[in-house]
Chain A
Amino acid sequence: MKKILKIVWLLFISFFLISCIQTQAIENIGIINAAGVDGAESETESNLIETTMAVFQFTTEAEENTKTVSGKGTTIKGAVKDAEMSSIYKLVPGKIKLMLFGEVIAEKGFLPFMDTLARDPRVPDLMYIGVAHPNAKEILMIEEENISTDVGQFLHGIIEHHSNDHNIPRKTLQDFLHVYYDIGHDNILPIFEIVNDVPKHSKNALFQGDKVVGELSQEEITLVNMVERTVKDQLLELSIPMGPFAESTEYKENGQQVDEFEVGLNVIKSTSKTKLKDINNLEFTTDIKIQLRLVEQTAEVAFKSQKSIKLLEKEVKKNLENHLDKLLKKTQELEADPFGYGRHYRKTRQGKDLTNDEWREKFPDINVKYNLDIILVRHGAID
Chain B
Amino acid sequence: MSETTTIAPPDLDRRSGVKITARQEQSTPASDRNGGVDPIIELQDVDIYYGSYRAVRGVSIPIERREITAMIGPSGCGKSTLLRSLNRMNDLIIGARVTGRITFHGQDLYEAGVDPIEVRRRIGMVFQQPNPFPKSIYDNISYGPKVTGMKVSNMDDLVEEALTGAALWGEVKDKLKTSALALSGGQQQRLCIARTIAVKPEVILMDEPCSALDPIATAKIEDLMAQLTKQYTIVIVTHNMQQAARVSDKTAFLTAEVDKDGQRHGVLIEFDDTNKIFSAPSNELTEAYISGRFG
| Bound pair (A, B) | no
Interface residues of A (CB under 8 A from B): none
Interface residues of B (CB under 8 A from A): none
